[in-house]
Amino acid sequence: MVAPAQMIGSSFSFLDAVEQASAAAALNRPVLVIGERGTGKELIADRLHRLSPRWSQSLVSLNCAALPENLIDAELFGYETGAFTGAQRARAGRFEDADGGTLFLDEIGTLSSQAQERLLRVVEYGELSRLGSNKTVKVDVRLVGATNEDLPGLVARGRFRADLLDRLSFEVITLPPLRERAEDIELLASHFARRMAAELNWPRFPGFSARVQEQLLSWHWPGNVRELKNVVERALYRWGDAERPIGQLVIDPFESPWRPKPMHPIAPLPVAADAPAPPTAAPAAAASPSQPVEAVNDLRGAVAAYEKQLLEAALERNRHNQRRTATALGLSYDQLRHALKRHELLGE
């Protein structure tokens, strides 16, 4: 049997989620795992299976977003010969593969309404019919679903069945993003770095420089642990010196002076309700409402100048707290960071 993947962290929010999963593992009930991309939803599903009475049986996984809608039913529930074009022989679905064990459905919020209806029947009665067959097949499967979406919000918008959500949400485990467990960043980074050093046949991991440690702690980590792992492994590979502490971190591998420009101009930032009124004296390149359009020689320059002015005013109003500034402007933290970088306002 494959060894379980390691779950590393000491923050209270992370340990609470792990403890919640450990307690739920023993019960033969569905569990939903909620979290941003890269937070470790697959690791929680693995823990739920390995600590359950089903540990010796199969853990079967399916990413629901990885298949087109017309193949999801066939993949989940199986099909008989001739059920559709190309079905040359019968095939069991993932539910039958997981019989006696656990089925992990990642990105469960992307399931079509038809697949949701069939899934509801399996969860409710423990039985299914393969495509192209009227025969009922009994299955004993513990279901674990995962998503980075707000499922109650999808229900409210009519994109997810309320009755299915009721049956899936016996227990809901919500994983904290890495930015909310900052005390785990250095721990995780050292773990990934030591593994990468061994892969590179280095005698040891030489550590991180003070500058790199500061970068690790100050970055927002929108890709969470998965992004951190990539950044750390790339840093060792590119540094290439097993004796000196890692002194350079490349967070965005796409950053380059030769990076292709976007095909379409970037739309200006939305203006929040509490944003300052446009200045009475517009930037030199910008036109006032009464000016004829022909007076604007550089529209993109005028928009960029005004956008920068809005950003500076919002930062000043929020005492340069970027999270509060992003909220005030109706932006995500990452959107704000990209805008500040574009206008050279990061101050880093």
Host domain of residue 70: 12-176
Q: How far is the C-alpha of 61 from the C-alpha of 94, rounded, in Å?
A: 8
Q: Sorting pLDDT into bands at 50, 70 and 90, what band is 307?
A: confident
Residue 223's identity, in one-letter code, is G
- Of residues 337 and 1, the one with the higher pLDDT is 337
CATH number assigned to the domain comprising residue 108: 3.40.50.300
Give the mean model confidence (pLDDT) for residues 337-348: 78
**pLDDT for 291:** 45
Residues with Cβ within 8 Å of residue 39, at least 6 apart in sequence: 175, 176, 177, 178, 224, 225
**pLDDT for 270:** 57
Instruction: Kindly state whether residues 160 and 221 are assigned to the same domain.
Output: no
Instruction: Kindly state whether residues 279 and 227 are assigned to the same domain.
Output: no
Q: Sorting pLDDT into bands at 50, 70 and 90, what band is 38?
A: very high
- Which pTM was predicted? 0.73
**pLDDT for 280:** 44
Q: Which of 122, 149, 176 is the last residue of a domain?
A: 176
Q: Sorting pLDDT into bands at 50, 70 and 90, what band is 266?
A: low
Alpha-carbon distance values, 253 to 144, 172, 230, 249, 250 (Å): 34, 35, 10, 10, 6
Q: Please report whether residue 137 resides in a domain.
A: yes
Phi, then psi, of 98 in degrees rounded to 5: -95, 5
**pLDDT for 170:** 97
**pLDDT for 264:** 64
Instruction: Kindly state whether residues 111 and 215 are assigned to the same domain.
Output: no
Q: Which of 129, 160, 176 is the last residue of a domain?
A: 176
Q: Sorting pLDDT into bands at 50, 70 and 90, what band is 287?
A: very low
Q: Please report whether residue 246 resides in a domain.
A: no
Statement: residue 253 has pLDDT above 50: yes
Statement: residue 249 has pLDDT above 80: yes
Instruction: Kindly state whether residues 28 and 106 are assigned to the same domain.
Output: yes
| Strand-pair category, 127-129 with 136-138 | antiparallel
Q: Which of 239, 255, 274 is the last residue of a domain?
A: 239
**pLDDT for 162:** 97
Q: Sorting pLDDT into bands at 50, 70 and 90, what band is 334?
A: confident
Instruction: Kindly state whether residues 145 and 272 are assigned to the same domain.
Output: no
Specify the range with the lowest mean pLDDT, choosing from 120-134, 154-168, 278-292: 278-292
Statement: residue 348 has pLDDT above 70: no
CA angle 149, 177, 46 (to 5 degrees): 75
Statement: residue 217 has pLDDT above 60: yes
Q: How far is the C-alpha of 276 from the C-alpha of 269, rounded, in Å?
A: 14
CA angle 31, 96, 105 (to 5 degrees): 35
Q: What percent of the chain has pLDDT over 90?
A: 64
> In the chain, what is the greatest distance between 2 CA atoms, to the nearest angstrom?
76
Q: Please report whether residue 244 resides in a domain.
A: no
Q: What percent of the chain has pLDDT over 70?
A: 87
Instruction: Kindly state whether residues 232 and 327 are assigned to the same domain.
Output: no
- Of residues 327 and 8, the one with the higher pLDDT is 8
Instruction: Kindly state whether residues 211 and 311 are assigned to the same domain.
Output: no
Statement: residue 295 has pLDDT above 60: no
CATH number assigned to the domain comprising residue 318: 1.10.10
- Of residues 269 and 145, the one with the higher pLDDT is 145
Q: Please report whether residue 259 resides in a domain.
A: no
Question: Taking a C-beta distance cutoff of 8 angstroms, is the pair 250, 238 a contact?
Answer: yes
Q: How far is the C-alpha of 61 from the C-alpha of 45, rounded, in Å?
A: 9
Statement: residue 279 has pLDDT above 50: no
**pLDDT for 322:** 84
If one counts the domains in the chain, the total is 3
Alpha carbons within 13 angstroms on the beta-carbon side of residue 306 total 22
Specify the range with the lowest mean pLDDT, choosing from 13-22, 130-139, 278-287: 278-287
Taking only the tens place, the pLDDT of each residue in 134-179 is: 899 999 999 999 999 999 999 999 999 999 999 999 999 999 999 9
Mean pLDDT value across the chain:
87
Question: Taking a C-beta distance cutoff of 8 angstroms, is the pair 312, 303 a contact?
Answer: no
CA dihedral 113→116→121→123, nearest 10 degrees, is -170
Give the mean model confidence (pLDDT) for residues 316-323: 81
